[in-house]
Structure 1
Amino acid sequence: MAQILRLGGSASNVIVGKIGHGLMMMTWKANVSPEQDQQCFEAIKAGVDALPPGAKMFINSGEFYGPNLSTANLEMLSRFFEKYPEYADKTFLSVKGGLKHLSFEPDASPENLRRSIDNINAALRGTKRVDLFQSARVDHRVPIEDAIKTMKGLIDEGKFDHIGMSECRADTLRRGNSVHPITAVEIEASPWSYEDETKKVIATAQELNISVAAYSPLGRGFLAGRWQSIDDLPADDRRRNFARFKPENFEHNIMIVKAVKALADKKGITPAQLCIAWVAHLGPHMLPIPGSSHKDRTLENVAAANVDLSSEDMDSIGRILLQYPVKGGRYWDASEAELHLWG
């Protein structure tokens, strides 16, 4: 498998590592303090330093990735780039925003998109330019064409460089791309999140030369096989609220993990590397962005770019998914419309 990837859309001149880095869990917790910085900094540096020469690390942040939907993640990044300014040019920064302030409600009005990117840039304090900006969800009240036009205007003002989309349907992606080339579309993709619409978005993105930033390729860590029961998760871990982690679903879904681990053991790799490689093998435009707050875990994830999976390997994983269909929704027990999934 290729260790690098050329981004799509207006960033087709940018080369990134085949495996990116999701930063959400570094600050997506009740308490965040600068004392935790250095561990996160080492995790980011390790991934960048492991890349082939000339490739940037695709790093993914969010305006609201902090306690009480704060900008803690971006503030952490500003401290990182202030301490290690030489890494600014070695990374490609994607940031999700576009929600109502301190809310999960999408708001693609011109006023809110401007507020969002200005808030993001303020948190970064000039230490790093936003390479790509995207609305975290699609606002059904604003035609996607209008939202993309607004973002194009913000690019013209110099606020960021490239446009992304997130949690959108394939036809919405096509409509957005007709207004301005979309560089990347961010969707969840893993061996337990491979829905019909996921497949459609992946196919449409490849047709339109758009990269797919695949978040949670490890099923929020579940598929890495490090937890054998719900009790292994800390009592305040947010994942306990997700449907697939509920005790009645956990016991079933752990069978997927055991089957994946057996296949990984045969290949001499970790379950995490197998899952990340599986996502990467779904197409040349696929860019898994597993999360990690630890140097060793980041290096394990990035090394998945060296894993080659045969068609037989891919078929074996497909059979596992047929034998043990995942139980529980991707988030909590609510409809996709309520969660603004698939736009």
Structure 2
Amino acid sequence: MRESQLGDLTVSCLGLGCMGMSQSYGVRADDAESIATLHAAIDAGCTFIDTADVYGDGENEELVGRALAGRRDEVVLATKFGFKRSDPTSPAPPTAVDGSPEYALEALDASLRRLGVEHIDLWYLHRRDPQVPIEETVGAMASAVEAGKVRYLGLSEVNGETVRAAHAVHPISAVQSEWSLWTRDPETVVLPTLRELGIGFVPFSPLGRGFLTGQIKSEADFPDDDMRRTLPRFQGENFQRNLDLVEQVKALAASKGVTPSQLALAWLLAQGNDVAPIPGTKRRKYLAENLGAAEVSFSADELAALDAAFPPDAVAGQRYQQGGMDLVGK
């Protein structure tokens, strides 16, 4: 698999997002299949592994740690801190954050224990705490680099101003935010800022939380405990409008002889070698399909057709309910 560059950190061009192995998308996969999926990813050269301390209230880090036992040196391991889940039983995304220096270092030590590793390759602030200056949070994160517990630093869902302020304290290697054909927001301000500063971009939910796979037909496809039931884009009239958009992706994919998932992921890869999407899956069969996107290329006309099918303002509905949106781009 070819590589992408996140600042000075080299990663596989496609990574593996592990959140769905432990939460958010309905019935949890069995741990044996999740670990087999992680091993299959590494064997295929997809060695950029992404988790977070809040996923499954720490269970996801423990799962990833078990999967990496004996294979730690084969991967670039990323995790995040900052969120606090007030209600572990709720499928809705957490909205409580803590970016204090004290909590940052406490969270890091907890992540290292759960993962069973001595260092994190890429450590993200999951969301900026509006009550704590970003310089203070990143200062604490930088001290973890100096202590050898972390190699590179990242931020998630921040605006250009926050990136600049953080980067002035310590080099930021990557910013992780939602980016896909149906979430084009980063392209206006954040991405140009990152490229000016030499920072890489890690798109999460690059398949639109499954919408761009073409497999979702109605709200009834989601189990009762599926997070997507709480998201405006998956509700009511928004759902149908967005479903109509996906039909265009399916048609373009069929004409190219690839799956809709491969088309959507390949579009992101075509945006530059400073981009490393992290599609999530908990099953080996979908992993293999996703990794096939690395072999897909586009002509200029095909890219123009995709842009026309999914202009930045085409998707109906906010990405999160208002509490979650209040933490985006801070």
Tell whether the structures are fold-level matches, with TM greater than 0.5. Answer: yes
1:118 aligns with 2:112: no
Q: 327-336 vs 245-254, which deviates more?
A: 327-336
Question: What displacement does 1:271 show?
Answer: 0.4
Segments of 4+ moved more than 3 angstroms = 29-33, 100-104
Indicate how the Cα distance of structure 1 residues 49 and 63 shifts in structure 2: closer, same or farther if over 3 A, else same: same
| 8 Å contact kept, 1:190–1:218 | yes
| 8 Å contact kept, 1:40–1:293 | yes
The superposition leaves residues 196-244 of structure 1 with CA deviations (integer Å, 9 ceiling, x where unpaired) of: x443211221222211010001110011101111112223212111111
Q: 1:104 and 1:170 mapped to 2: Cα distance?
A: 21
Match of 1:63 among 53, 65, 85: 53
RMSD: 2.2
1:262 aligns with 2:256: no
The superposition leaves residues 15-58 of structure 1 with CA deviations (integer Å, 9 ceiling, x where unpaired) of: 3211111100000159998x81221112112222122xxxx611
Match of 1:227 among 216, 219, 232: 216
1:146 aligns with 2:136: yes
Residue 325 of structure 2 aligns to a residue in which SS? coil
1:186 aligns with 2:172: no
Indicate how the Cα distance of structure 1 residues 49 and 206 shifts in structure 2: closer, same or farther if over 3 A, else same: same
Question: What displacement does 1:121 show?
Answer: 1.1
Q: 1:258 and 1:299 mapped to 2: Cα distance?
A: 23
Percent pairwise identity: 34
Residue number in structure 1 paired with 2:154? 164
Residue 163 of structure 1 aligns to a residue in which SS? strand
Matched AA of 1:95: T
Indicate how the Cα distance of structure 1 residues 139 and 271 shifts in structure 2: closer, same or farther if over 3 A, else same: same
| 8 Å contact kept, 2:26–2:225 | no
Q: 2:325 and 2:181 mapped to 1: Cα distance?
A: 19
| 8 Å contact kept, 1:165–1:184 | yes
Residue number in structure 2 paired with 1:97? 81
1:16 aligns with 2:11: yes
Residue 278 of structure 1 aligns to a residue in which SS? helix
Matched AA of 1:17: S
Match of 2:319 among 313, 321, 330: 330
Q: 22-31 vs 144-153, which deviates more?
A: 22-31
Indicate how the Cα distance of structure 1 residues 257 and 243 shifts in structure 2: closer, same or farther if over 3 A, else same: same
Matched AA of 2:80: K
Residue number in structure 2 paired with 1:43? 37
Matched AA of 1:129: H
Residue number in structure 2 paired with 1:26? 21
Map 1:196-211; keep pairs closer than 5 Å.
197-211=186-200
Residue 140 of structure 2 aligns to a residue in which SS? helix
Matched AA of 1:77: V
Matched AA of 1:222: F
Matched AA of 1:72: E
Q: 2:26 and 2:295 mapped to 1: Cα distance?
A: 36
Residue 342 of structure 1 aligns to a residue in which SS? coil
Match of 2:64 among 77, 97, 122: 77
1:241 aligns with 2:230: yes
Could you tell me which runs of 5 or more consecutive residues in structure 1 were left unpaired when the two chains were aligned.
Answer: none
Q: 211-220 vs 153-162, which deviates more?
A: 153-162
Matched AA of 1:81: L
The superposition leaves residues 266-317 of structure 1 with CA deviations (integer Å, 9 ceiling, x where unpaired) of: 1111100111111122222111111011111111111211111222111111
In the superposition, the TM-score normalised over structure 2's length comes to: 0.92
Residue number in structure 1 paired with 2:91? none
| 8 Å contact kept, 1:205–1:211 | yes
| 8 Å contact kept, 2:182–2:315 | yes
| 8 Å contact kept, 2:155–2:174 | yes
The count of residues paired between Structure 1 and Structure 2 equals: 323
Q: 1:335 and 1:162 mapped to 2: Cα distance?
A: 26
| 8 Å contact kept, 1:3–1:306 | no
| 8 Å contact kept, 2:5–2:275 | no
Indicate how the Cα distance of structure 1 residues 203 and 30 shifts in structure 2: closer, same or farther if over 3 A, else same: closer
Could you tell me which runs of 5 or more consecutive residues in structure 2 were left unpaired when the two chains were aligned.
Answer: 87-93
Residue 6 of structure 1 aligns to a residue in which SS? strand
| 8 Å contact kept, 1:32–1:72 | no
Q: 1:322 and 1:287 mapped to 2: Cα distance?
A: 21
Question: What displacement does 1:6 show?
Answer: 2.6
Residue number in structure 1 paired with 2:328? 341
Indicate how the Cα distance of structure 1 residues 120 and 101 shifts in structure 2: closer, same or farther if over 3 A, else same: farther
Question: What displacement does 1:333 show?
Answer: 4.8
Map 1:311-326; keep pairs closer than 5 Å.
311-322=300-311, 325-326=314-315
Residue number in structure 2 paired with 1:304? 293
